[in-house]
Amino acid sequence: MYCRAFFYRTFFYRAFFYRTACPPKTDHSDLFSHTLSAILFLFLTSITASVNASSRPAITPLDTEPYSFKELQQAIGFYQTLNTLPWPVLRKTNKLLRLEDNHPDLAIMRHQLLLLGDLTAPYTTPHNTSDNAADTDTKANSAEYFDQHLEQALKHFQQRHGIKVDGILGPQSRKALNISPAHRIQQLALNIHRQNQFADKASQRFIQVNIPEFRLRLFDQNELLLEMKTIVGRKTRKTPVFDTHIQALVINPSWNVPKSIAFKDILPRWQEDPEYLQRKNLQVLAGWNSSRPVPAEEIDLTKMYQGNEYQRLWEPPGMGNTLGRIKFISRSQYAIYLHDTSAPRLFDEHNRAFSSGCIRVAEARQLADTLLSLSEPEDVSLEPILSHSRTQTLPLQQPVNLHVTYWTAWISPKGTLNFREDLYKRDRWQMQEHQQQLAEIIDKSSVPAPLETAQVALRQVHQQSLDTQTE
């Protein structure tokens, strides 16, 4: 109880988890003030959109804040309101639509983004004095025209859904836009349940790795110190959700190749290509405690990781080591840890599920320096150790808690509602597992009486958008 009460008092709670993990009792009047004004704005701009082109005034989209929330409980109330309307659905196709395109799908996307709050005006009449100004104005006034403001709204949607921000309507954006309000309600409730559990164990100093977000954050004394990209396990080799602590750093680590990786990835390639081990700087050792390489003529694949005289694969430390230059030692039943990488180019990818389960961090040196500064009374420089390739272990006097989470919905410190793809389909089975708890959470978020006006306004926006599509 004391830990939970302390956590509630922290700045981190006020700046981040106040919006996500442990919301106080929902202030529906505050929800009304934040949501109704935006909905009424949409309603008024939609009415404006129905006026003929000659009399329509120019509207500046996104000149007001998109819907913002203090907590996920409020977001459930918003989606409950959306759930009273038929949800427009884009057709499934690989067709890409971009700026200045004309297509019927764009009217549906415009409708969706209006209801979600990413787009705050149906479209804008540009000021055009060229010879083809009439034709340009007609396009701009069409719900099926991809104007700059629709592109900006789509980028905002992509940003908060973890989709590559390119302003192009492609398969990923279509899939996310088509997710129904009913599903979002369940997803939000599940993440409230997860984040409430997290709040019970969060300490003053901890690292969080959120798997679906591909991000790591380090907090100390309620302050965000570091944030960086991560690479997590691929769908067939999932990174598990767990809690542990980082107790030491290994500088210039070697890599003891796990049996599973050896049999799934390395040994089949080695059998096809006899030079594979040499190219990958891998050696065959005899037994676990031995550092003696097995002579080539004594290597026996039937002894790999089995028998009394088993042999195993090992990679010596160095610049090209698979684990990079730094490994973060932690204890867990999964033998999963954080480490550097020799392939930093993969951090340029948007979806970064590439590993065999362990977590690669983009700024390993920065994370190591920060952990050492927090743990050690005197400055510790890694430069002398990194100048050579000998392995050295540096225990942390104050171990740091590590929480590997699976959050697919949360509120940012600025009030933006974020969603992420259910990478491992964990949401699906946990919604079934926690049906009763989720029902109780949703019940607390039932739409209050003041939002009846907002519901009416949303229905008007919905109808006006439909009317606009048929003009």
Q: Reply yes or no on whether 22 is catalytic.
A: no
Contact between 17 and 195 under an 8 Å Cβ cutoff? The reply is yes
Are 201 and 99 in contact by the 8 Å Cβ rule? The answer is no
CA dist., res. 144 & res. 104, Å (int): 5
Distance CA 411, CA 318 (A): 41
DSSP 241: P
User: At residue 131, what is the residue type?
Assistant: D
Which is the catalytic residue, given 161, 358, 403, 462?
358
| CA 26, chain centre distance (Å) | 26
Residue 302's CB: how many other CB atoms inside 10 A?
8
Query: Pick the catalytic residue: 34, 245, 339, 403?
Result: 339
358 has catalytic annotation: yes
Contact criterion met (CB below 8 Å) for 430 and 75: no
* Distance of alpha carbon 161 from alpha carbon 276, whole angstroms: 40
Q: From residue 62, give the alpha-carbon distance in Å to each of 16, 138, 151, 281, 414.
A: 24, 22, 11, 54, 16
Burial of 203 (0-12, 13-18, 19+ CB in 10 A): middle
The residues assigned a catalytic role are: 339, 358
